[in-house]
């Protein structure tokens, strides 16, 4: 599976990115987040059902700025994985105006 790259240069959220349901195991996805400025704040949101709201679902934040990665609370780069709970989609949210936030997501599976 090819990595998916998303960059947000200002505050806001990216469009929802659907996950691949053909993976074996059914869900294993890794995220690597890098920021242009250590003052940037970000979060990765996931949705358990359908991001088009055909079947409304709640949005959950799984990773935030210094929640993932190293022990240093001042570092806002991060890396993390979801391997046990299937998700339907994910998006990147940039909560700051101070710099760009980049995420690379890699999921197991075909296609």
- The better pLDDT of the pair 67, 40 is held by 40
Q: Is the pLDDT of residue 111 over 60?
A: no
Count structural domains, the chain: 1
pLDDT (0 to 100) of residue 110? 63
Task: Give the pLDDT of residue 57.
Answer: 67
For residue 50, give its domain range.
4-107
Structure tokens at 35: 């920021």
Rounded to an integer, the average pLDDT of 9-33 is: 79
Quickly list DSSP for 17-67. EEPPTT-SSS--EEEEEEESSTT--EEEEEESS-TTSSS---EEEEEETTT
CATH number at residue 47: 2.60.120
Cα 49 to its chain centre, rounded Å, is 16
């Amino acid at each position: 599976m090819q990595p998916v790259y998303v960059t947000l240069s200002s505050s806001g959220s990216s469009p929802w990115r659907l996950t691949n349901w053909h993976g074996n195991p059914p869900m294993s996805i890794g995220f690597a987040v890098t920021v242009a400025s250590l003052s940037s704040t970000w979060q990765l949101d996931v949705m358990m059902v359908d991001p088009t709201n055909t079947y409304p679902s709640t949005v959950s934040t799984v990773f935030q700025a210094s929640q993932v990665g190293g022990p240093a609370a001042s570092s806002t780069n991060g890396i993390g994985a979801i391997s046990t709970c299937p998700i339907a989609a994910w998006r990147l949210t940039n909560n700051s105006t101070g710099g760009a936030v980049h995420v690379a997501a890699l999921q197991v599976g075909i296609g």
